[in-house]
Structure formats: C-alpha cells, structure tokens
Structure 1
Amino acid sequence: MSQPSRISPALSPWAFSVAPMMDWTDRHDRYLLRLISPHTRLYTEMVTTGALIHGPRDDLLRFDTAEHPVALQIGGSEPDDLARAAAMGAEAGYDEINLNCGCPSDRVQSGRFGACLMREPELVARGVAAMKRAVAVPVTVKCRIGVDDQDPETVLPDFIARVRDAGADAVIVHARKAWLQGLSPKENRDVPPLDYGLVRRMGERFPGLPIVLNGGLTTIEACLEEGRRLAGVMVGREAYHRPMLLAEAERGIFGAEPPLADGRAAVLAMIPYVEREMAAGAPLSRIARHMLGLANGRPGARRFRRMLGEEARRPGADARLLEAAADVVDWTPAARAA
C-alpha cells in the first residue's frame, strides 16, 4: 500500500483520531483502519517503558509504513526511562509519542503509571520534559479529568499547565474521572459521568495548546460539534466495533472521498495483507477478529462474524475465508439487519 496522504494543514493533526486500546489497536487493526481512512490519526496499544527497555523491542515497535500518521503510546513514570522509550519510538519511525496518564487498571497503578499519575503532575511534567529532550517528534499526554475524590475544576487545569510548560505538544482528555478504588477498568469507561464542558473550558483556557476530547463519542455529528470547539476529537470503542465510522470521518471531517465503498470492499482490501502476514506466521484469527464490526447492521452480519470469529481458527483456514465471509452479507445501501 502506498504512503497515505497526511491531514490537511488547515486542520489540526489531532482533528480526528482513534484511541489507544489494549488488545484492540494492534498493528493488524491499525492497518485495517488505515485502509478505510487515509487521514485518521492512529495510536498503538500502550507499551510500558520496561517492556521496551528490557523486552523484545523490535516486535513491540513493529508497524507497517502504511499506518502513518501513527503514534506510540508509552506507559511509565520514571523520566529517564520515558526518554529512552520515546527515543526508541522515534527511531522506529513513529509520528508522535504519547504518555498514558489515563488507564485505571490495577496492573497499571501497581507500576506507577496510567491514571494514578493525575496525582503527580510534577512527575509527569519531568517525564514530558525528558521525552521532549530525547525526540524531535511531538510528545503528547492522554489523561483523565481527575481521579477519585480530586476536584477536576482544580486538578485538570493545574495538570495541563504543568505538562504544557514542560513542552507537551497536545493534551488528549478523556472527559471522565477515573475511580481507582471501587470501579473496574470496564466500569471506568462508562460509570463516571462525562464532562465535556470542562474539557471545552480547557481549550479556551489554553489557546496555544491543542486540547483533544475523548470519551463517549459515537457519531461523526457529535465529533464535528465538539471538534469546532477544540483541536480535535478521539474516538475509542465505537471505531473498533464500527470501523466504517472512519469512512464517515473521511467525508465529514476531512472533506475527502473514502477510498473504500463499504465493509465488503474493506474485507477484500485486507486479503493481500492477510496473505502476507500469514506467510510470515501470523494466525488468521489474530487478524480477522478486528474485522467483525465491518458488517454491523447488515443482513448476514451474524453469519459473517461467526465465519471470521470461529472458522478463522480452524486448521487450514486461509485468506479465502475473507471473501467467503463477505459474500454472506447484503451490502446494498438500503439493507439493514432485521
């Protein structure tokens, strides 16, 4: 696949992006999303500094050149380690290094990174400054509006001011608190109420710093509404469960014609990639699982999901299964599942 065009200079580089999501936004998913949208900014799953410094660095940093613009999200808190990990990401060719200050899982807290860093803005600022010294690409921060009993009206502007002063190029704000005690990571994605108004006020308060809104966005109309007030929006689960949302973003946000007409075209466009990856040892099921949402809302979607979710795991399954699965769906524009 040829190198995709970049976002129009008239738009913020963060005009529309897909959030980093553990177990979801791996390189196979990002390749699919890039086929659908040449302009959307993509983010990796979070990779810890320890894994990059001590683990299989090349495997962890691997991505296809077609994925640009693509950002590496790092989890960590020790400034020197963050600088080393950021340098590795920049050397590997990532377009941005993003620091995770929003994940609420127990494992993340035990490692002193993620959302618990909202309590340590000065440490985050030192980390951002170290990363900025280590790389020439943008360094950004993804955070919550606060954690536990913190007052977001006080905590968030102080946090943003500190990372701005440390050199952060943008701040992506998940517009919910994270409750580190009493709520699971899944509940933290839904239970705390969204506060878009606070994030909008941060955009007004820090006019020289791109502020991006994340959390609860499910339609391009909502993205456009919020995007008019901020530097951009970031969509998470909706983009994974309904990948063709990115085709809507091509038209509605970037003013471009989507390169693929529908989910069927996306399935077929993935076949050369699947053949190449399977020849290199990747299991078909590992790639096909990211395509299950392409037929959502279409007659035949259940059979499509079963084929790609179950039959893809059977011995001997290969890329021909993708075309067979695409054939069980009614892709006509007027068709809707009963």
Structure 2
Amino acid sequence: MRFDGVLFFPVTAFAADGSVDVARTAEHVASRLPYGPGGVFPACGTGEFHALSAAEAGEVVGAAVGAVGGSVPVVAGAGGPLGHAIECAKRAEDAGADALLVLPPYLVAGPMSGTVAYVEALLQASSLPVIVYHRGSAKLDEAAAARLASDSRVLGFKDGVGDLGVAQQLVRTVAATGRDDFAFFNGLPTAELTQQAYRAIGVPLYSSAAFAMAPRVAKAFYEAYASGDDARRLEILDAFYLPLVRLRDEVPGFAVSLVKAGVRLGCQGVDGFEVGGVRPPLIDPDERQLAELRRILAIGDELVGAA
C-alpha cells in the first residue's frame, strides 16, 4: 500500500442528540477528496477515537469507505483496551477499510514484548494490515521495530513521540531489514511545523489535521514542501500554521477541537457545515478563541485565494 499526498484525518460529525451523524461524516470526507489526500484515516485522533464506542467507530469507518469509493486507502483507528481494539479491528474490516492504525493501549504501560504482543493480537483479529502508532504507551525500541517490520502485514510506523534521534534509529532499523515498502510518517500535532526535519531523517509523509478544516491551504503547503519551494512553504508556515499552533497550545486537546470548529466555520471557498462539538473530556473553543480561529482561516484565504 502506497500513500501519495497529505494524509487526511477527518473529524467525526455528531448530531444534535450527541449520536454519530453518519451522513454528515461521509459528506465531510467527500468534500475533501477533490484536494487530493493520499489516504483517509477515519476514527483516529482527529476523529475522536477516544470518545467512540466500537460500534460507532465502525459506523464512522463505513461512512468514510463509502465516500472514498476506493479512490485512496482508508486506514481505520483501533486501540485502547485490547478487547475494544479487537472489536474496532473487526468492525473496520467488515466496513471495508484497507488497513488499521494501531493506537496505543489504554492506561497501562507493559514491557516492550507486551507492546509487540498487543499489535500482533490485532493482526490476528482481522486480515487487515496495520500501521503502528509509536507514542504514549506504545513506544517502540529497535528490537521491537525490527520484529514488527519482519511481518509483511505491518506496513509502517507513525511517530507521535517527536524524538528525532529515536525516529532516526527506527528508520535505520527497518532499512536494515530490507523492507523497501515500509511507510514512515510524522504524526505530531500540526505536523506541518516539524515535517522538514522529519524528511531529513527519511520520514517523507505526515498526517494533517488542518487538511480537515482548511484543505486548500494544507494542499498548498504540501505542494510547496514536496516540490522544495521553501519560500512558499515558509510563507504559509509563518502566516497560517504558527498562529494556529499558538492558539492550539492554549488548551489541551485543541489539536482536535480547533479543527472541528474550523470545519464548522468553513474557509478557502469551502462552505462550513455543522459537525457538532467535541465530546468530553475535550472542550470547544470559546468566543475569543473562535474569533482568533476565524482570523487565521481568513489569512489562509488570502494565502491561497478563496475561489
């Protein structure tokens, strides 16, 4: 499985009664496809996986699969308590997902052999291949990376730790196994901020939560990054992403909450539509924060044109 382009992590729409709005979730995914994502990752971090039941996660994945129609890979989240993770994996397979993003186990941190066993349990639970999220209670060392990479159904690693030295070691460890089909990508919040450094160590892909709310500006940034147009990349970074990161850092969880608010507001010629607020323990931005988000999105309009 190959990824070519920005990795799109859609939000999960909630109806007025708090239930998952499957139709609106599918609409959200479909509305971003014209901007060329390299893959769609429903029911993951930006999609509030932490707040979804296994049944709801399956509904979200099914909505994404239907909207995508096979045009790009769909990689579904699966993680947390092992039983929940297994149920999510089975439902994702039934919904037609192409692979799983294995999110960290819940609460406990076992030894490295236990982390590997957790991933292997999900491999046994369905026929889907997996990408392993290296973060939290699922941090990998070189031996674990080598063991997992020896399984052809392990397609890649997503780094959410942010230690470039460790990430470099994992890249070199997998290279030593002879795998040339392995995908590494940067999964830090607002990954555009750090992606130039990740590319330098052999991690060319990144997840983009901003793509969910501002697809034109995210696409423009990716094109500048991919083509080596550093002047354009830095222009967008300085004017759009750095103010967004400053706002994001005001409140824990705003890496998700701001994106969902941005989808509601709309920008870059893309109409906003109601996807509901975030579920606890996350909170929605207040009026001052929404005003600042509107200002940042307006800067995006100016950068890439609203038409």
* Offset at residue 66 of structure 1 (A): 3.4
Tell me the distance in 2 between the aligned counterparts of 1:291 and 1:227.
Answer: 32
**1:44 equivalenced with 2:42 (yes/no):** yes
Tell me the distance in 1 between the aligned counterparts of 2:28 and 2:111.
Answer: 33
**1:133 equivalenced with 2:116 (yes/no):** no
Aligned pair in 2 of structure 1 residues 173, 126: CA closer, same or farther (>3 Å)? same
**1:233 equivalenced with 2:205 (yes/no):** yes
Tell me the distance in 1 between the aligned counterparts of 2:133 and 2:89.
Answer: 15
- Identify the residue that residue 67 of structure 2 maps to in structure 1: 66
- Identify the residue that residue 173 of structure 1 maps to in structure 2: 159
* Offset at residue 172 of structure 1 (A): 0.5
**1:254-289 alpha-carbon deviations (Å, 9 max, x no partner):** 78xxxxxxxxxxxxxxxxxxxxxxxxxxxxxxx996
Instruction: Return the letter of the residue paired with 2:74.
Output: V
SS of the residue corresponding to residue 226 of structure 1 reads helix
Structure with larger Rg: 1
SS of the residue corresponding to residue 140 of structure 1 reads strand
Instruction: Return the letter of the residue paired with 1:140.
Output: I
Unpaired runs of 5+ residues, structure 1, are 1-8, 102-112, 176-193, 256-286, 310-328
- Note if contact 2:27-2:67 (Cα within 8 Å) is conserved in structure 1: no
Equivalent of 2:142 in 149, 157, 176: 157
SS of the residue corresponding to residue 170 of structure 1 reads strand
* Offset at residue 70 of structure 1 (A): 1.7
* Offset at residue 174 of structure 1 (A): 0.8
Tell me the distance in 2 between the aligned counterparts of 1:28 and 1:288.
Answer: 16
Tell me the distance in 2 between the aligned counterparts of 1:51 and 1:74.
Answer: 11
CA RMSD after TM alignment: 4.5
How many residue pairs match? The answer is 227
Instruction: Return the letter of the residue paired with 2:126.
Output: V
Equivalent of 1:98 in 96, 101, 116: 101
Unpaired runs of 5+ residues, structure 2, are 15-23, 228-259, 275-297
- Identify the residue that residue 30 of structure 1 maps to in structure 2: 29
- Identify the residue that residue 201 of structure 1 maps to in structure 2: 169
Instruction: Return the letter of the residue paired with 1:87.
Output: K
- Note if contact 1:174-1:213 (Cα within 8 Å) is conserved in structure 2: yes
Aligned pair in 2 of structure 1 residues 70, 117: CA closer, same or farther (>3 Å)? farther
SS of the residue corresponding to residue 185 of structure 2 reads strand
* TM-score after normalising by structure 2: 0.55
* Offset at residue 73 of structure 1 (A): 0.3
- Note if contact 2:159-2:167 (Cα within 8 Å) is conserved in structure 1: yes
Tell me the distance in 1 between the aligned counterparts of 2:129 and 2:200.
Answer: 22
* TM-score after normalising by structure 1: 0.51
**1:122-170 alpha-carbon deviations (Å, 9 max, x no partner):** 33322322332343432111121x56xx9x7xx5434434543565221
* Offset at residue 23 of structure 1 (A): 7.0
**1:167-209 alpha-carbon deviations (Å, 9 max, x no partner):** 522110113xxxxxxxxxxxxxxxxxx4334313321222134
